[in-house]
Amino acid sequence: MSIAQALTIAGSDNGGGAGIQADLKTFQELGVYGMTVITAIAAQNTTGVQGVFPISYEGIAQQLDSTGDDFQPTSVKTGMLYSAQIIRLVAEKWQQYSWSNLVIDPVMVAKGGAPLLQQEAVQALITELLPHALITTPNIPEAELLTKMSIMNLSQREEAAKRIVQMGSTYALVKGGHDEGSGMIVDVLYDGQSFHYLENVRVVTRHTHGTGCTYSAAITAELAKGSSVLAAVTTARAFIQAAIEDELGIGAGHGPTNHFAYQRRLRGEQ
């Protein structure tokens, strides 16, 4: 029996709502065997980030080599990479092991506002790693940092998606969750020629910690199973919508989403 395998290269969230923990939960729920390379350990809870402790360069390199020497993931996602040095290392190992289906979640700022990517690393992400991406999945603030443009409406999200594809990413998904001027969330997927729009009703809740990680992890899982990009994004959008709607209510701040929700709905469970 063969099983789809996916690798996540990201930070650890001890609260379990984002980062490596959210990725593994999502992979598992979607029937994919998950592997990890941990780049940093974040001390955080639903009220914020209390500290970020990077893993050494040698430690990350060894994790990448240990994975590449024995496994062949059919999709790979990156989350919090933290520094330009780590970004360059990941790009080097990506090419060395001929991995495929790179999903870049350009994690830059935590939900509470704490920076998760050093300033000098943004340019390294653009020049060193993004040209290898099958799909890049920024929210609006992340897309603004990548493209150096202000994004206030749908047409500007479309323009940002175009610019990200021009940077080298085959697809760009600019998410609309931070556009709070509408009762609908519209995510814009651009494939270099045409746009696709994924719409869902906005859920008014404070329990949205890890939505970006979970969304991109679901895309990664579906790509690992052989789905097209559009099909993977469509399933991932349904996955994160269910995870937000069926909230867990954990924590005093921005609580985690419900990774159980999507499969429970498919099984007809409450």
Q: Are strands 75-78 and 5-13 parallel, antiparallel or unpaired?
A: parallel
> Is 268 an active-site residue?
no
> Is 74 an active-site residue?
no
> Is 253 an active-site residue?
no
First and final C-alpha spacing in the chain: 32
Q: Token pair of 28, please?
A: 């598992």
Residue in 175, 235, 255, 257 annotated catalytic: 175
Residue in 19, 210, 220, 235 annotated catalytic: 210
**Contact (Cβ atoms closer than 8 angstroms) between residue 215 and residue 262:** no
- The span from the CA of 185 to the CA of 200, in Å, is 5
Query: Could you list the pLDDT tens digit for every one of the 270 residues in the chain?
Result: 689 999 999 999 999 999 999 999 999 999 999 999 999 999 999 998 899 899 999 999 999 999 999 999 999 999 999 889 999 999 999 999 999 999 999 987 655 555 556 677 888 999 999 999 999 999 998 999 899 999 999 999 999 999 999 999 999 999 987 666 667 889 999 999 999 999 999 888 899 899 999 999 999 999 999 999 999 999 999 999 999 999 999 999 999 999 999 999 999 986
* CATH code assigned to 5-267: 3.40.1190.20
How confident is the model at residue 204, as a pLDDT?
A: 87
> Is 208 an active-site residue?
yes
φ, ψ for residue 249 (rounded to 5)?
Answer: 70, 35
222: helix, strand or coil: helix
How confident is the model at residue 111, as a pLDDT?
A: 53
> Is 212 an active-site residue?
yes
Q: Identity (one letter) of the amino acid at 267? A: R
Residue in 213, 214, 235, 257 annotated catalytic: 213
Q: Identity (one letter) of the amino acid at 46? A: T
- Shortest CA distance to 42 belongs to which of 20, 79, 13, 81? 13
How confident is the model at residue 197, as a pLDDT?
A: 96
Strand ranges of the sheet holding 135-136, from the earlier edge strand across to the other edge: 48-54, 33-45, 5-13, 75-78, 102-104, 135-136, 171-174, 184-190, 195-201
Q: What is the pTM of this model?
A: 0.95
Residue in 8, 208, 214, 235 annotated catalytic: 208
- Shortest CA distance to 158 belongs to which of 141, 181, 140, 182? 140
Residue in 15, 19, 212, 255 annotated catalytic: 212
> Is 211 an active-site residue?
yes
